[in-house]
Amino acid sequence: MDFGYTPKVEDLRNRLRNFIDQHILPRVRQYNDEVNAGMFPVSFMEDLKALARSEGLWNLFLPHLEEDAPGTGLTNLEYAPLAEIMGRISWASEVFNCNAPDTGNMELLHMFATPAQRAQWLEPLLDGRIRSAFAMTEPDVASSDATNITTLIQRDGDDYVINGRKWFITNAAHPNCTLLIVMGKTDPDAATHQQQSMILVPRDTPGVEVVRNITVMNHHAPEGHCEIVFRQVRVPAGNLLGEAGSGFQLAQARLGPGRIHHCMRSIGAAELALELMTERAQERQAFGKYLHQHGVVAEWIAKSRIEIEQARLLVLKTAWMIDKLGAKAARKEIAMIKALVPSVHTTVCDRAIQTFGAMGLSPDTPLADHWTWGRALRFADGPDEVHLHSIANMEIRESRKTLGASAAYLTTPQRL
């Protein structure tokens, strides 16, 4: 077993870190100022994207391109450490065209779109000319159980007509967001997992109303987590993605690699929080000692290091399993990282905030933003409890195959 990164990955890690140090870090303050002044996308984003593209740091997430252009794509295991580096700055991924939810949407289109759909939507997404959103969650039903979704996608002649209300739809406030991938029911009478379909809806279609950009813990995200109403939204039947009734299957296919990306970005954020905390603890003194000389702060540093290392190893193992065996075989691991990593992310950020004192809550560190996003990730792509539930189910199913096999280890006295 080799825990090192290959020379190819080391080279990409170095180039990515250099790019971020030279071109992104010096612009963090300007990004914040422009977003706070209501300017979005910020003035320099397109220039940075062009530069990243010219340096070959573009669409790094897309292992599937391997089929189209052998030798160009990265495996999930190769991409994971790059996502970690991008995760240190909340908006850096977009510079490399590697941000969610566009990445998951591009993967979906790459796997399931027709040639015409690819030309209309995938190519401009791969070029970074447009942005997209994925619209599944609804305010009126428990959406962690996607069989509850009520939005209707009804066939009417050569069209489909969509009616429903979605919320927390990430990216929908981005001015370049022109595509919504909407999940709804095409056949409410079919078997439970064959009722849903996905359909491609241009955001400017009449009847699509972005009602509001919902703040997350009072934090305004310029790209948006939006509430959207669909009233008699009519699109051509050719906009259906995949087969009618295949919505669940498509949703499953979209999620595996996306969870690796989210989790590795989280690990990047946690790693940065630990670095900041460790430096701060060596700079400030309270009650006659540096903060790290207080046992409790030393323990926070040590526990954070242990938790980050554990989490990173599990995510890398999961990436390796997806590459070798496919996302289906890695279902339990994918659920495990999703249930684990956002908590590690928030716990480490929380300790760093505490170490910084009140400054940790101010906009002068990235900690408050990173904490908020880590907390949000405990819901996005499904709440922790759903993943814990499926992990337990898989364990029970496995155990049933050999039920009683561990009885020999029990030393319970025989009852007379």
Binding mask 85-124 for ligand FAD (x = CB under 6 A): ----------------x-----------------------
What's the min distance (Å) between Cβ of 268 and ligand FAD?
Answer: 18
What's the min distance (Å) between Cβ of 137 and ligand FAD?
Answer: 3
Residues 95, 49 contacting (CB under 8 angstroms): yes
What's the min distance (Å) between Cβ of 414 and ligand FAD?
Answer: 39
- Candidates 82-90, 193-201, 347-355, 375-383; binding stretch for ligand FAD (CB under 6 A): 375-383
The number of CA neighbours under 13 Å toward the Cβ of 208 is: 20
* Contact pick of 103, 137, 239, 346 for ligand FAD (by CB under 6 A): 137
What's the min distance (Å) between Cβ of 201 and ligand FAD?
Answer: 13
What's the min distance (Å) between Cβ of 398 and ligand FAD?
Answer: 19
Scanning residues 149 to 178, which ones bind ligand FAD (CB under 6 A)? 168-170
The owner of tokens 């991938």 is 181
The verdict on whether omega for the bond into residue 70 sits within 30 degrees of 0, i.e. cis, is: no
Residues 349, 270 contacting (CB under 8 angstroms): yes
Decide if residue 380 touches ligand FAD (CB under 6 A): yes
Cβ closer to ligand FAD: 355 or 372? 372
Residues 134, 107 contacting (CB under 8 angstroms): no
Cβ closer to ligand FAD: 225 or 292? 225
Q: Give the pairing of strands 177-185 and 131-135.
A: parallel
* Contact pick of 88, 131, 225, 262 for ligand FAD (by CB under 6 A): 225
Residues 245, 195 contacting (CB under 8 angstroms): yes
**Residue 184 to residue 250: CA distance in whole angstroms:** 12
Cβ closer to ligand FAD: 137 or 278? 137
What's the min distance (Å) between Cβ of 393 and ligand FAD?
Answer: 10
The strand ranges marked E within 289-347 are: 289-290
Residues 179, 153 contacting (CB under 8 angstroms): no
**Residue 197 to residue 154: CA distance in whole angstroms:** 10
Q: Give the pairing of strands 159-170 and 177-185.
A: unpaired
Encode burial over 314-345: b for 16+ CB neighbours within 10 A, e otherwise: bbbebbbbbbeeebeebbbbbbbbbbbbbbbb
What's the min distance (Å) between Cβ of 345 and ligand FAD?
Answer: 13
Decide if residue 130 touches ligand FAD (CB under 6 A): no
What's the min distance (Å) between Cβ of 179 and ligand FAD?
Answer: 13
Decide if residue 247 touches ligand FAD (CB under 6 A): no
Cβ closer to ligand FAD: 318 or 372? 372
* Contact pick of 182, 230, 382, 391 for ligand FAD (by CB under 6 A): 382
- Candidates 62-70, 137-145, 323-331, 401-409; binding stretch for ligand FAD (CB under 6 A): 137-145
Cβ closer to ligand FAD: 57 or 226? 226
Cβ closer to ligand FAD: 73 or 258? 258
The verdict on whether omega for the bond into residue 115 sits within 30 degrees of 0, i.e. cis, is: no
Write the CB contacts of 241 (distance below 8 Å, at least 6 apart in sequence). Answer: 108, 109, 112, 113, 117, 181, 197, 198, 199, 200, 250
Cβ closer to ligand FAD: 171 or 246? 171
Instruction: Tell me what percent of the chain is helix, strand and coil, each rounded to the nearest 5.
Output: 55, 15, 30
**Residue 385 to residue 335: CA distance in whole angstroms:** 10
Which chain residues interact with ligand FAD by CB under 6 A? 101, 134-137, 142-144, 168-170, 216, 225, 376, 379-383, 385-386, 389
